[in-house]
Amino acid sequence: MHVRQLAKMLGVSPDTVRYYTRIGLLEPKKSIDNGYKFYRPNEQNRLRFILSARDLGFSVDDIKQIFHKADEGESPCPTVRRLIDNRLHETEQRFQDTLRLRARMHVAVESWGDKPDKRPSGNVICHLIDDFNKMPE
């Protein structure tokens, strides 16, 4: 199967297939006749796995580690468990950071509502932001 066929089958763009091929996660065979890359069923399975792993938040480097274990004949499951724990921790941290940012944005919206617009002057570009960053949290 060619790039476009594989992409269509799995609902991704041909560029997505080419990207994973370029970074070595997919290894299609080259046709002797025309040099086109040909994706076998194993590559289809690998791409399906890549897409599922990406949907779970695994990075490309994570997937490389998982494939390395599997290609060596080892169970990648302990690696998958360790990696998902790391991704979950990172996601929780980003979520908490986002909640703090959201709270600051609410405060900014409330405090800026009755402040006048001012033209830039000297070192001040927008007094709303400059004054807000001087406020205690």
Enumerate the CATH 1.10.1660.10 domain ranges in the chain, comma separated. Answer: 1-55
Q: Which long-range contacts (CB under 8 A, 24 or more apart) does 12-18 make?
A: 12/47, 12/51, 17/47
pTM of structure? 0.78
Q: What is the pLDDT of residue 131?
A: 84
Q: Which residues of the chain have pLDDT under 70?
A: 135-137
Residue 106 to residue 98: CA distance in whole angstroms: 12
* Residue 125: DSSP 8-state: S
CATH number for the domain running over 1-55: 1.10.1660.10
The amino acid at residue 45 is N
